[in-house]
Amino acid sequence: MGIFDSILMNLTLLMTLTYLWTVLVKQGRLSQQSQQNQLLEILVACLTALMLMQYPVRMGDGLQFDLRMVPLVVLGLRYGPLHAVLAAVPVALYRLALGGMGAVPAVASLGAVLTLLSLGWLWAGLERKHILKLPFVPAGVFLGQLVGLSLLPNRLQLITEVFPVLYGLGVLMTHVSLSMLLSKQKQLKASEEVSLQSLTDPLTLLGNRRKLDQDAKAFHAGNFVLTLDVDHFKRINDAFGHHVGDEVLSTLGTVIRESLGSQHKAYRLGGEEFVVVLKNKKAKSAYLWTEELRLSFTERVALLHPHIERAVTVSAGLVNMQAGEGFTVALQRADALLYQAKQQGRNQTCLKLEDPLKQLGTQVFETQTEKWN
């Protein structure tokens, strides 16, 4: 196979295997790639380098060149030098096993490239930038190939005649491979954002009813189901306009998100009705969390809307899911308690728990704030 054919075979193999590599990209954000997928990417980069070595550009006297550096550099630019080293070790061992006068210089070039890659990440850390945002990266990384070429007898000829081609192809194909992988990430990120928007209430940034239906199967006995409803919300809309009403609902969403924590879930069902599912809490803790939330909301609205003379309050119904009870049934019980809180004067939490607070069955707790009459 001639020199041109060998180069063409390397380019074709590299493009094909990089396309297969994109199949492993499952998340729009690199930090969200699972460890299993990262290990698979290391394996693919290693196999790609080994495959490229099967079709080298042979220069005689045991010398051969190929684009094996490209997948290793691409992997290192994506995840860091450690990933690149893990993929490079089998490649280096295989090249040494092939032998020839170019074996040691080839491994030296690989080591130099990885060293420059590591320095690039160090520089990126000091500059607090992503490595791809730095000038001369990845172009500067491929300068490491000069180390191996300088160890060969005909170094001057190789550096002047071979290196420019090898360097140019390496930099070009690294950009092409990275572009293919980044394009897949952007597609996934856009799809994830669309999916997130379809499951998120745009006003409060909480989950919507569709998201609640999606999550409901994961809720189980011991979880607390809390329903919330803004008191006299229609009066707020009528007196101050729908834009103020929307701001009140947005404020409740903000207070819920700030209080929520990572393991709990919150949703806006529509209008002024909200649902919160609390996990790993005891009865008293769930009640106190609810009361703190209601008080925080009333205080926040008073701060943001001093022109609303009456306190804007929330009524709540709180239950804990029981063994054998589906989420829908628990939600119905919480709704019934919310209705009871409304009937009994609003601005209160009505709860019925399997392990009730203070050993009482149904209790009503009212926050002492001025209510709408």
- The pLDDT assigned to 362 comes to 42
In this prediction, residues 325-342 reach a mean pLDDT of 93
- The pLDDT assigned to 61 comes to 58
In this prediction, residues 163-173 reach a mean pLDDT of 91
Residue 173: φ, ψ to 5°: -75, -25
Alpha-carbon Rg for the chain, nearest whole angstrom, is 31
Q: How does DSSP assign 104-140, residue by residue?
A: HHHHHHHHHHHHHHHHHHHHHHHHTS-GGGSTTTTGG
Beta strands in the chain (DSSP E): 57-60, 63-65, 224-230, 265-270, 273-278, 314-320, 348-352, 362-366
- The pLDDT assigned to 101 comes to 84
Parts of the chain belonging to CATH 1.10.1760: 3-198
Report the 10 Å Cβ neighbour count for 294: 23
Q: Are 215 and 265 in contact (CB under 8 A)?
A: yes
Residue 252: φ, ψ to 5°: -65, -40
| Confidence class for position 250, pLDDT limits 50, 70, 90 | very high
Query: What are the start-end ranges of the H helices in 28-100?
Result: 35-53, 69-79, 81-98
pTM of structure? 0.63
In this prediction, residues 260-286 reach a mean pLDDT of 91
Parts of the chain belonging to CATH 3.30.70.270: 209-366
- Return the CATH fold of 3-198: Arp2/3 complex 21 kDa subunit ARPC3 (1.10.1760)
Report the 10 Å Cβ neighbour count for 34: 10
- The pLDDT assigned to 33 comes to 78
Closest CA to 29 of 214, 200, 197, 193: 193
Ramachandran area for residue 72 (φ above 0: left; ψ -120 to 50: alpha; else beta):
alpha
- The pLDDT assigned to 373 comes to 35
Report the 10 Å Cβ neighbour count for 150: 16
In this prediction, residues 214-241 reach a mean pLDDT of 93
| Confidence class for position 372, pLDDT limits 50, 70, 90 | very low
Q: Poorest-confidence range of 3-12, 109-118, 237-246? A: 3-12
Note the pLDDT tens digit of each residue in 58-81: 765 556 678 999 999 999 999 999
| 256: pLDDT strictly greater than 90 | yes
Note the pLDDT tens digit of each residue in 95-106: 999 888 888 999
Report which residue type is found at 232: H
- The pLDDT assigned to 369 comes to 42
Q: Are 52 and 12 in contact (CB under 8 A)?
A: no
Active site residues per annotation: 272
| Confidence class for position 232, pLDDT limits 50, 70, 90 | very high
| 257: pLDDT strictly greater than 80 | yes
Closest CA to 319 of 277, 351, 275, 358: 351
- The pLDDT assigned to 1 comes to 59
Ramachandran area for residue 191 (φ above 0: left; ψ -120 to 50: alpha; else beta):
alpha
Instruction: Look at residue 351 and give its three-state secondary structure.
Output: strand
| Mean pLDDT, rounded, of the chain | 87
253/60 Cα distance (integer angstroms)? 71
Sheet containing 265-270: give its strands across: 265-270, 273-278, 224-230, 314-320, 348-352, 362-366
- Return the CATH fold of 209-366: Alpha-Beta Plaits (3.30.70)
